[in-house]
Amino acid sequence: MITNKIIYFDNAATTFPKPSVVSDEVYRCMTEYGGNPGRSSHVLSSAAAEKVYECRELIAEMFGSASPENVVFTYNATYAINMALKGVLHPGDHVLISSIEHNSVIRPVHAMRENGVEYSVFNVSLNEERLIKNIEAAILPTTKVIIVSHSSNICGITLPLRRIGSLCRAHDIIFIVDASQSAGTRDINVTREFIDILCAPGHKGLYGPQGSGFMLVSENSKLKVPIMTLIEGGNGTNSLFPEMPDFLPERLEAGTLGTPAIAGLCEGIKFVKSIGTREIFEHECRIYRRIRNNLKNIRGVLLYADNINESSVLIFNMRNKSSSEVSSRLDEIGICTRSGLHCSPLTHKMLETGEDGAVRISIGYFNTTDEADELCNAVALIANG
Amino acid sequence: MNRCIVAESSMTYAMKVKQLLEGHSIASSVVRLDPSQTKKGCGYGVEFDCAEYENAITILERARIPYTVVSGAAR
């Protein structure tokens, strides 16, 4: 067990710690009611099914949907993104991605080239009008999907979902959003923003356990045919037939769900709701600005995209030191950060961080101003050492 | 009290129907159905007092939730 004091600034990878209500619920699920939901009707199976359904309701409500049955549980956002992309794209289709995408988007679309799906990348601009022009210019007659990361995982760039969604609606294009860095800290509404499919992890801004994630298909989606399945198997529904059901969520949920993770996610969402996404984000922005303003004054520290005021992630490098060296030195002091490319090579290229990437500081609700100051003091120590 | 049952396509829809009916003050519970009752294999239904049958069916139809009557009452 780790007993030394740890300061955790790697919340973009997964938030830590989790609220005690989350770990308590995971334990309660595993010891009091953890039957297999949707497989039986005994008391433990029914109790588990009720918890799973409660979580579907909370997710639907939080993201502007009236259809809890359109919430499909996955193990993380990457799984949800793969399911969405591979479920709607066919040979001959084109998909447009942004220049701030994570490998969770880049790798599936790249792999799909072997199946005749083409992709291209549009440049993200902080100027909204220019951004929309960039997207419009990149749309092809065969463009079926536009997928964007709502917020970058390495800097404060956040895309205007409603504008992009509106553009997609006008061009009859399916709009998929990766909310890995924004679910729980930004107000997202699939109806208002014309999102067809929202993909998100449960273990980041929603404070659920690792192993939880979901995709939400808007009831107003322009999807005309059932999403193709990525995997098939039993789920306690229509079991006489060899085909997967043609309705959600069971069409896309094969095999036993991660009920303890979903139970924890349920409490994580309640925790977020009890504080408010806006309040959580404002807290993170306050810490971000404090760190940014302090690091700016340290000689030898180079910040990237630091002109953005509202953010919970910040990357930097130190003159004559690699990002992994700086991150390791911070780790020795008891401060967790992440070095390298953060699975987002396109964004690093855009920010010109170099081949070694940068050190990422990512802030969560449980970070304090004292921790921010300790981090800055540690960076100053390394810079001067 | 006579119990009426409507079959739903899945546990998720059964839960949705249960919530919906309870939102209209109709006590209900999710029950497991035999494959012979659904003709599709394993399935779930929602059971409620047949005195509420008319109301329940109207609520499901207004909400556009598909159902199959397994055990009903005369309308």
Q: What is the DSSP string of A29-45?
A: IIIII---TTT--SHHH
Alpha-carbon span A348 to B43, nearest angstrom? 50
**Tokens 């899945």 map to which residue?**
B10
Q: Which residue of B has its CA nearest to A246?
A: B9
B75, pLDDT greater than 60 = no
Nearest to A49 among B11, B39, B42 (CB): B11
Handedness of CA A281, A339, A177, A304 (dihedral sign): positive
3-class SS of residue A63:
coil
**CA pseudo-torsion sign B16, A75, A85, A167:** positive
Is some CB atom of chain B closer than 8 A to the CB atom of A356? no
Q: Is B57 on the interface with A (CB under 8 A)?
A: no
Chain A segment 249-308 residues within 8 A of B by beta carbon are 249-250
Q: Which range, of A69-78, A175-184, B42-51, averages the lowest pLDDT?
A: B42-51
Mean pLDDT of B2-16: 93
**A40 at B interface, C-beta within 8 A:** yes
Contact state of A239 with B16 under an 8 Å Cβ cutoff = no
- Average pLDDT of the segment spanning A314-333: 94
pLDDT tens-digit map of A38-63: 888 889 999 999 999 999 999 999 99
Query: Whole-number mean pLDDT of chain B?
Result: 91
Q: Does the pLDDT value for residue B40 go beyond 80?
A: yes
Tell me the average pLDDT across B14-43. 91
Summary mean pLDDT of chain A: 95
- The pLDDT value recorded for residue A349 is 87
Chain A and chain B share a number of CB contacts under 8 A equal to: 61
More confident residue, A237 or A160: A160
Per-residue pLDDT band at B74 (split at 50, 70, 90): low
Share of chain A above pLDDT 70, in %: 99
